Chains A and B, each alone.
Chain A
Amino acid sequence: MCGIVSLFPKQPELEPRVGALLADMLCQMTERGPDSAGFALYRDAVPDGQVKLTLQSESARADWGDLHGRLRKLDGHATLADHGNHAVVLTAITPAEALAWLEANASDYRVTSWGRSIEIYKEKGSPEHVIEQLHLRELGATHALGHTRMATESAVTTEHSHPFSTGLDLCLVHNGSLSNHNRLRDRLTEAGIHFQTDNDSEVAAGYLTHRLAEGDSLEQALDHAIRDLDGFYTFAIGTRDGFAVLRDPIACKPAVLAETDEWVAMASEFRAIATLPGAETAHTWEPEPARVYSWER
């Protein structure tokens, strides 16, 4: 069991409150996922020619100053904003160069996301604890996704937590379990997709990365996912401009969508949506199985 939430404001006035609103939604999903929590925020897009990376340190006392100094030898204008055991790096080198450099020179740091506006934060512990530690309530965003995890198929660690990055400005959160993830991981690894864990949801993320690299649109990639992924899933997928929701054809895993003039929201259960302003009069419905729902600006 896990909990998923997403929030997509339609009006810019709501954007500074997205972190606080998402935090309330996540706390309602604590019973569905008390092990770990994570969230992806789309915020402060960098200009053309720059890339934003979110890094996470394996140690609670990361020496971000040291890493920043080493980074500046590579790119004199690189900035690093410290966020507890996470940090956001802005640099002018390409994402591929940045990822390769980090792997070679700073392997004790994990890259949780890369793109123009995405930032992914995740951690072991109860949702309330993770929210406090990472100061989610203070963060604004154009839109956001979150996940609370109750591990059923792999270990409870920070790197097994969701969201999983699926490439530039893309991420995925998953409620369910995939049964063909080992074979699919082998196939995707042969195709050049890199995996950090043995987690099944990361395979779904990698699958989307692969399909998008093959030229699929997000909608096409999700249509292919219905064919190639075997198992139970409700996915929420974040993109630079919006988000998408997909349930497997059996649709055992719950999902609720709600929409007002101010926002679109998705959650595993209505009680997460009930925390949002105007929820009681929102248009609320259950997404149909095997149908892709998406919103973008």
Chain B
Amino acid sequence: MRQLNQALHDSTDGSFEVLRPDGRHAIAVGLDSAATVTIRGHVGYYCGGMNQQATVVVEGNAGPGCAENMMSGSVRVAGNASQYCGATAHGGLLVVEGDAAARCGISMKGADIVVGGSIGHMSAFMAQSGRLVVLGDVGDAFGDSIYEARLYVRGKVTGLGADCVEKEMRQEHATELAELLAAAGFDQADVGEFRRYGSARKLYHFDIDHAAEY
């Protein structure tokens, strides 16, 4: 695994294929070039973590922490992603064509995440900035203690977390949602079917009336 990642780190661009990943951890972590890496199978923990510039495609499912702390570039998972995919990601685009499990986009800090299926509970917890688009349903405690990330959901939301509220979908939101769907390859989805969620900004400053929610 170290040899593979070293070879990927050493390249400035180019195209790579990873065969028989068999669920191994940390594949294509820490890339910082315009390389394209296609992984033909299921991967384990942290695939595409800390990615900068590179394009990583997983033709299978991804284990926990996929694209964690991504800075730029893109990671696409053709199957499902396990828990905390896109956690703390600062930039780039993460696309999960299937479902993502719990804590999707937790503490995201500027990345765009588009999920074709549904996502689990505690997703977008303390999400600071960036956009999260979900074409399916969302689990409980969505966007708990959220800052300025913008959340778009087509399906139903089991429950909103503290300080996360549904917001008006204005033209600028419809425009950015259409761009995100197009970038992720879901341009057939109807923007009009989505709802927008974000911060009520009531937890930004201490307020004794909200003490129970902190």
A residues with CB within 8 A of B: 250-252, 254, 256, 269-275, 280, 284-286, 288-289
Instruction: Contact check, A271 vs B80: say whether CB atoms are below 8 A apart.
Output: no
18 pairs, CB–CB < 8 Å, chain A vs chain B: A250-B102, A251-B101, A251-B120, A251-B121, A254-B64, A269-B23, A270-B22, A270-B61, A271-B22, A271-B23, A271-B24, A271-B25, A280-B42, A284-B42, A284-B61, A285-B61, A288-B120, A289-B102
Nearest chain B residue, comparing its CB with the CB of A273 = B23
Per-position 1/0 for B38-52, Cβ under 8 A of A: 000110110000000
Residues in B with CB closer than 8 Å to A280 are 41-42
Given A280-B41, A284-B42, A285-B80, residue A270 in contact with residue B120 (CB < 8 A) = no
Nearest Cβ on chain A to B25's Cβ, whole angstroms:
8
| CB contact between B44 and one of A250, A251, A270, A286 (< 8 Å): that residue | A270
Residues in A with CB closer than 8 Å to B161 are none
B83 contacts chain A at the CB level, 8 A cutoff:
yes
Residues in B with CB closer than 8 Å to A270 are 22-23, 42, 44, 61, 63
Instruction: Contact check, B42 vs A274: say whether CB atoms are below 8 A apart.
Output: yes
Compute how far the CA of A92 lies from the CA of B23 in the bound complex, rounded to whole angstroms.
46
In the A-B complex, the 7 residue pairs with the closest CB atoms? A271-B23, A270-B23, A274-B22, A274-B23, A270-B42, A286-B101, A251-B102
Nearest chain B residue, comparing its CB with the CB of A285 = B80
Compute how far the CA of A283 lies from the CA of B74 in the bound complex, rounded to whole angstroms.
26
Residues in B with CB closer than 8 Å to A271 are 22-25, 44
B129 contacts chain A at the CB level, 8 A cutoff:
no
Given A270-B63, A286-B101, residue A251 in contact with residue B83 (CB < 8 A) = yes
Interface residue tally for chain B (C-beta within 8 Å) = 19
Instruction: Contact check, B82 vs A254: say whether CB atoms are below 8 A apart.
Output: yes
Nearest chain A residue, comparing its CB with the CB of B79 = A284
Compute how far the CA of A273 lies from the CA of B60 in the bound complex, rounded to whole angstroms.
14
Nearest Cβ on chain A to B45's Cβ, whole angstroms:
8
Residues in A with CB closer than 8 Å to B23 are 269-274
B residues with CB within 8 A of A: 22-25, 41-42, 44-45, 61, 63-64, 79-80, 82-83, 101-102, 120-121
Compute how far the CA of A269 lies from the CA of B22 in the bound complex, rounded to whole angstroms.
10
Nearest chain B residue, comparing its CB with the CB of A272 = B23
Residues in B with CB closer than 8 Å to A269 are 23, 44-45, 63
Nearest chain A residue, comparing its CB with the CB of B84 = A252
Instruction: Contact check, A289 vs B22: say whether CB atoms are below 8 A apart.
Output: no
Residues in A with CB closer than 8 Å to B41 are 280
Compute how far the CA of A250 lies from the CA of B83 in the bound complex, rounded to whole angstroms.
11
Compute how far the CA of A289 lies from the CA of B22 in the bound complex, rounded to whole angstroms.
24
Nearest chain A residue, comparing its CB with the CB of B62 = A270
Residues in A with CB closer than 8 Å to B80 are 285-286
| CB contact between A286 and one of B25, B45, B82 (< 8 Å): that residue | B82
Residues in A with CB closer than 8 Å to B64 are 254
Compute how far the CA of A273 lies from the CA of B24 in the bound complex, rounded to whole angstroms.
11
Residues in A with CB closer than 8 Å to B42 are 270, 274, 280, 284
Nearest chain A residue, comparing its CB with the CB of B22 = A274
Compute how far the CA of A118 lies from the CA of B107 in the bound complex, rounded to whole angstroms.
46
Compute how far the CA of A280 lies from the CA of B41 in the bound complex, rounded to whole angstroms.
7
Nearest Cβ on chain A to B34's Cβ, whole angstroms:
29
Identify which of B41, B42, B44, B120 gathers the most chain A CB atoms within 10 Å of its CB: B42
Compute how far the CA of A286 lies from the CA of B66 in the bound complex, rounded to whole angstroms.
14
Compute how far the CA of A274 lies from the CA of B22 in the bound complex, rounded to whole angstroms.
5
Compute how far the CA of A270 lies from the CA of B42 in the bound complex, rounded to whole angstroms.
8
Nearest Cβ on chain B to A51's Cβ, whole angstroms:
39
Compute how far the CA of A286 lies from the CA of B119 in the bound complex, rounded to whole angstroms.
12
Residues in B with CB closer than 8 Å to A254 are 63-64, 82-83
Residues in A with CB closer than 8 Å to B45 are 269
Residues in A with CB closer than 8 Å to B102 are 250-251, 289
Nearest chain A residue, comparing its CB with the CB of B82 = A286
Nearest Cβ on chain B to A283's Cβ, whole angstroms:
11
